[in-house]
């Protein structure tokens, strides 16, 4: 079933931008593109995460006013570019979207297909199919970014992989709580690999708050303690090294 979404008024949103109301603009953009999967939706989510991080740093006094204004202006330009691009696209593509319930149903069906791959005798083919299905599930999750929170604590390996993929594509530090709840349930190298890559993107996205580094170290330790193949463990060590570099921590 399809649900029809409201139209977008770029002129109105540009006026809001000129008044500095970026939060309102982002709220309307997210409401408008929710349920659509393309490069534009990813850009909107990235910009929203940048703005939330910037405002959090301002409230905590972790950024100078000069740097704040520079990033604020950069986000403003990004929003203007997004509005210009959306204005050139077919709005029908954004308005006619699947409902959240339909997306959840499709994710459940894909999870069943993911589990069935365990019957495949050819290991490389099985792994390729699992990765393919997990990526398709991640695309579904990206239609409704808040949907991942409904899977907190899940033990479904397909969903775990999909969440890891979603965070890798659109890293949002708000998803760290979800990752903490599912890392202990990642029992396979494939699932651990997806989650390790997700943690790497959270680090590179520059969204870490005070204390998040320790949470990430603990998640990486958990993945290593559960064991894995040499490629996986090497990747975990690479991510740890990136976190060390970011935090200025040295390992003797």
Number of domains in the chain: 2
In this structure, are 76 and 192 located in the same domain? no
Domain closes at, from 65, 97, 129: 97
pLDDT for the residue 6:
53
Tell me how far apart the alpha carbons of residues 28 and 42 are, in angstroms, rounded to a whole number. Answer: 15
Q: Which of 3-12, 212-221, 237-246 has the lowest mean pLDDT?
A: 3-12
Cα torsion 10, 12, 14, 17: sign? negative
Q: Answer for the pair 141, 160: CB distance below 8 angstroms, yes or no.
A: no
Distance of CA 201 to the CA centre of its chain: 9
Distinct helix (H) and strand (E) counts, the chain: 12, 2
Domain closes at, from 55, 82, 97: 97
Residue 136 has pLDDT above 70, yes or no: yes
In this structure, are 116 and 161 located in the same domain? yes
Q: Which of 52-61, 130-139, 151-160, 190-199 has the lowest mean pLDDT?
A: 52-61
In this structure, are 142 and 93 located in the same domain? no
DSSP-derived secondary structure for 77-94: HHHHHHHHHHHTS-HHHH
DSSP-derived secondary structure for 191-220: HHHHHHHHHHHHHHTT-PPTTHHHHHHHHH
Q: Which of 24-28, 91-95, 108-112, 139-143 has the lowest mean pLDDT?
A: 91-95
* pTM score of the predicted model: 0.72
Residue 226 has pLDDT above 80, yes or no: no
Give residue-wise pLDDT tens across range 28-87: 888 777 666 566 777 888 888 888 878 888 887 878 898 888 889 988 988 988 888 876
In this structure, are 74 and 145 located in the same domain? no
- Entry field: residues in the chain: 252
**Which of 41-45, 81-85, 197-201, 242-246 shows the highest mean pLDDT?**
197-201
Q: Answer for the pair 107, 137: CB distance below 8 angstroms, yes or no.
A: yes
Q: Answer for the pair 154, 182: CB distance below 8 angstroms, yes or no.
A: yes
In this structure, are 60 and 122 located in the same domain? no
Torsion of CA 202, 203, 207, 211, to 10 degrees: 110
Q: Would you say residue 139 lies in a domain? A: yes
In this structure, are 58 and 119 located in the same domain? no
Tokens standing for residue 167: 């965070």
Structural domain range at position 194: 99-247
In this structure, are 156 and 58 located in the same domain? no
């Amino acid at each position: 079933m399809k649900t029809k979404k409201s139209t977008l008024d770029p002129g109105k949103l540009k006026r809001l931008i000129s008044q500095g109301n970026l939060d309102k603009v982002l709220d309307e953009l997210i409401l408008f593109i929710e349920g659509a999967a393309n490069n534009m939706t990813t850009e909107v989510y990235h910009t929203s995460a940048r703005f939330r991080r910037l405002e959090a740093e301002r409230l905590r006094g972790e950024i100078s006013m000069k740097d704040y204004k520079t990033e604020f202006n950069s986000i403003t330009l990004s929003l203007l570019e997004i509005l210009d691009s959306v204005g050139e696209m077919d709005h029908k593509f954004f308005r006619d979207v699947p409902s959240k319930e339909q997306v959840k149903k499709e994710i459940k069906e894909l999870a069943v297909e993911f589990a069935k791959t365990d019957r495949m005798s050819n290991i490389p083919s099985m792994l390729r199919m699992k990765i393919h299905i997990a990526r398709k599930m991640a695309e579904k999750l990206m239609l409704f970014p808040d949907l991942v929170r409904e899977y907190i604590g899940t033990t479904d390996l397909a969903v775990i992989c999909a969440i890891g993929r979603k965070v890798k594509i659109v890293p949002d530090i708000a998803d760290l709580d979800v990752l903490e709840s599912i890392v202990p349930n990642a029992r396979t190298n494939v699932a651990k690999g997806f989650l390790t890559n997700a943690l790497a993107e959270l680090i590179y996205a520059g969204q870490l708050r005070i204390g998040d580094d320790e949470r990430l170290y603990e998640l990486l330790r958990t993945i290593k303690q559960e064991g894995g193949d040499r490629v996986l463990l090497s990747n975990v060590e690479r991510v740890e090294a990136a976190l060390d570099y970011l935090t200025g921590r040295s390992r003797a």
